[in-house]
Structure 1
Amino acid sequence: MSTKDEKAGGSPESRLLEVDDLHVEFRSREETAHVLNGVSYHVDAGETLAVLGESGSGKSVTAQTVMGILDTPPGHVTGGSIRYRGEEMLSATEQRRRELRGENTAMIFQDALSALNPVFTVGFQIAEQFRFRRGMSRKDAMAKAVEMLDMVQIPNAGQRVKEFPHQFSGGMRQRAMIAMSLALDPDLLIADEPTTALDVTVQAQIMDLLDELRRERDMGLVLITHDLGVVAEVADRIVVMYAGRIMEQADAHSLYSQPGHPYTEGLMESIPRLDMKGHELASIKGLPPNPSDTPPGCPFHPRCHRAEDECREKRPELHDLGAGRLSACHFAEELISRD
């Protein structure tokens, strides 16, 4: 059995994070938006789980709920479970969740420029964690900050710690964010669109860096993105989300070679290829549904070229296709059994 096959199943001992049947609503005076509708996945030590989907599919909301930073109005967790190493997080005290954030779980946010405080130097923001969590002196904490910037391959780290976020390029800011997230050596890292707005060369560097750090630390990595090309080489398993639900879950090879859901199929067909020169790029017609007014049946059926009456009337459950594959499509078996 290959390493990736072993990771696809995992074991209770290696399991870092378990999200089970998670439901989240955003409430206003006018309406209630059901942004997560029964999301379930797990992450093991040393594994990279990629979470794919269009903007608004619930990827970031799931991550923020896991981190415990989306449990105040207008966000409301209405059901489900989040367990870190078997410990239930949704019922934990705020003090306990603060202890876990940074020490055990950490998150790289989508926009590094917004996530970093513009009025403090990058070094101060990294060193602050060592001072308050490790009790280090100001001098020792700053030395650790230099060490962290050097670890993420920022040149001349001893000088760069004294600079402010706006003095860093986009790629360097993202590296600084990674350094800040890894400062306390967490077991689980959630990277929310870590390559957004970066050029292709820098994207590759950031992805290589994350993968290298994951292997060195045996760290679980949740990689949130809408870019299928970014995760093709680094993901062990992939979860595809749409309208706050999981449409498909599979190991990377199976999902890329034979999608088990029409939505995944549409995403794959929209990837530009060298042999398509001169041809119109395929796209999924229409828009994702409004979370406050999701259609009956399969939420993807208004955009699905394979939809039949059953899809419009009956919502498909996420069911097991074998070999660690899951799909929420009435015709999943037909899709993956095609020649």
Structure 2
Amino acid sequence: MTDELLLEVEDLHVEFRTSDGVATVLNGVDYSVHAGETLAVLGESGSGKSVTAQTVMGILDSPPAVVTGGAVRYRGEDLLTATEERRREVRGGEIAMIFQDALSALNPVFTVGFQIEEQLRVRLGMSKKDARKRAIELLDIVRIPAAARRVREYPHQFSGGMRQRAMIAMSLALDPDLLIADEPTTALDVTVQAQIMDLLAEIQAERRMGLILITHDLAVVAEVADRIAVMYAGRIVEQADVTELFRSPGHPYTEALMASLPRLDLKGQTLETIKGLPPSLLNVPPGCPFHPRCPRAESRCETERPALHSLGFGRVSACHFADEVVSGRV
């Protein structure tokens, strides 16, 4: 990691205006990513992880999505106020994204090679011959065997792991400075998951890219992340260095996520769970959104929304009792 700041998301607010009402999907999200750094964004489904990434990329469906406040600064430039032409320049060329479901993200009627080559020809002006050569090189980089042959194959002819590698090759084609990986190992077996994560780490180190890893897999996070941002109900509730967060969580939600991890030393014991369900974003509870599920909740949690509280050394927690949580006091 370096001191070079690539991305800064500041007080980001997004609403989904639907026939059922207005859902506050993002409610003041803040995080940043430096060159060479891996930021893991954790949280249950519906917490706002992917919506934040899509807002950064400028690919939210509008309507129903409406950005109602905040800033997304890439190298100091606010992308939310930039022209659509400038957004297209940044998208793919400077910030790229690996989507969660490679089979859905890849076009089934075009070969994998064509889909990589298209952006090289359109964005970089390469000839068909040069684009094909570069596409084969990219498939080699992501370790797809027989790349010269497989570049002519269609997505359905690739296994799940190979499709994900092809998506990584597409995202690297324009040599971005920042890569967003949205659940890149979903539905892959454990061995392939490890291979994909090792590949991403190797490519990141070679290119000094910033990496935002969106996931709910704490084991993956422990292996690859430098910092962690934990999201709940559209808000960052904790940010910390990965070592500090695993050693002593600073928010009851993070604490509960850690407690729900299967452990070899607890074999035969009942696995801890987080009671209840995440709140509907159409009707987020007042005060702390986590309070209906929180074992530490008191009356003030039901009415007072906790601000992000500094715990020192760059870590913050949105909990009224953050100091007690991080110290392990009940």
Normalised by the length of structure 1, the TM-score is 0.96
Q: Which amino acid aligns with 1:59?
A: K
The answer to whether residue 316 in structure 2 is matched with residue 326 in structure 1 is yes
For residues 104-253 of structure 1, what are the structure 2 equivalents within 5 Å? 104-253=94-243
Equivalent residue, structure 1, for 2:307: 317
Selected match of 2:5 from 3, 15, 21 = 15
Could you report, residue by residue, the CA deviation over 1:59-93 in whole angstroms, capped at 9, with x for unpaired residues? 00000000001161000000000000000100101
Q: Which amino acid aligns with 1:242?
A: Y
CA distance in 1 between counterparts of 2:114 and 2:7 reads: 30
Could you report, residue by residue, the CA deviation over 1:128-162 in whole angstroms, capped at 9, with x for unpaired residues? 11111111111110110000000001111001101
Counterpart of 1:299 in 2: which secondary structure?
Answer: coil
Q: CA deviation at 1:231?
A: 1.1
CA distance in 2 between counterparts of 1:162 and 1:285 reads: 49
CA distance in 1 between counterparts of 2:23 and 2:241 reads: 31
Q: Which amino acid aligns with 1:321?
A: L
Could you report, residue by residue, the CA deviation over 1:206-246 in whole angstroms, capped at 9, with x for unpaired residues? 00000111110000000000111111011000000000001
Q: Which amino acid aligns with 2:26?
A: L
Counterpart of 1:107 in 2: which secondary structure?
Answer: strand
Unaligned segments of structure 2, at least 5 residues = none
CA contact (8 A) 1:65 1:71 kept: no
Q: Which amino acid aligns with 1:99?
A: E
Could you report, residue by residue, the CA deviation over 1:14-35 in whole angstroms, capped at 9, with x for unpaired residues? 0000000000000023300000
Q: CA deviation at 1:335?
A: 1.4
CA RMSD, 1 decimal:
0.9
Counterpart of 2:288 in 1: which secondary structure?
Answer: coil
For residues 258-297 of structure 1, what are the structure 2 equivalents within 5 Å? 258-297=248-287
Counterpart of 1:90 in 2: which secondary structure?
Answer: helix
Unaligned segments of structure 1, at least 5 residues = 1-6
Q: How many residues align?
A: 329
Counterpart of 2:223 in 1: which secondary structure?
Answer: coil
CA distance in 1 between counterparts of 2:61 and 2:14 reads: 9
CA distance in 2 between counterparts of 1:313 and 1:18 reads: 30
Counterpart of 1:194 in 2: which secondary structure?
Answer: coil
Q: Which amino acid aligns with 1:131?
A: R
Counterpart of 1:232 in 2: which secondary structure?
Answer: helix
Selected match of 1:308 from 298, 308, 322 = 298
CA distance in 2 between counterparts of 1:284 and 1:219 reads: 35
Equivalent residue, structure 2, for 1:86: 76
CA contact (8 A) 2:309 2:322 kept: no
